[in-house]
Amino acid sequence: MLKQRSQPKNQSGFTQAPSDGAGFTLLELLVVIAIIGLLTGVVMIALQNARIRGRDAKRAGDVRQVITSLEQYRISHGSFPTGTASAASAGTGAALDNAAAFDQSVEPFMPNFLPAAPIAPAPADGNCVGTVGRGNNNYWYDAADDGSTFTITFCLGKDTGQWPAGIRSATPDVVQ
């Protein structure tokens, strides 16, 4: 018959497990936790930057789509669409999703040329903080009274392609 070996007891009287060196020390566990925390922080920063760039890419794509739609309208009607709020004589311009931006157009600009007004992605990035007024986190449309030209003002949080961060404006000729 095998004789059972008794387990050593610690000062509290509890039985200790045999120590064969197969465990981790507290210091080793703390080092591993610190490394995991550091890597998580780096990944979160990279993810946030990717999200900002994604929102800016959407803004740039929206502006390109609106410019293309405005050009199609001009080809069909000889001028760009105007509205009671967007005409130069009104002096203020209007957000693209404002019905008054295109209400004096010969043919409805939306949905005939642009299926729906693009909405700037949220949250705002960089210095594009507000949602109302020119130069904020929206798309602002101004047109000449005769429809000969337009300006779309929008804001980018970071450099996107060839466009630097900040308030940008797009005209029929150039985006700056």
Give residue limits of the domains in the chain: 31-170
Residue 59 neighbours by CB under 8 Å, 6+ apart: 120, 121, 154, 155, 156, 160
pLDDT in tens, the chain (176 residues): 555 655 666 666 666 655 666 788 899 999 999 999 999 999 998 888 888 888 888 888 888 888 888 888 888 888 888 887 777 666 677 877 777 777 777 778 778 888 888 888 877 777 777 666 666 777 888 888 888 888 888 888 887 777 787 888 888 887 76
Q: What is the pTM of this model?
A: 0.69
Instruction: Compute the distance between CA of residue 152 and CA of residue 134 in angstroms, rounded to an integer.
Output: 9
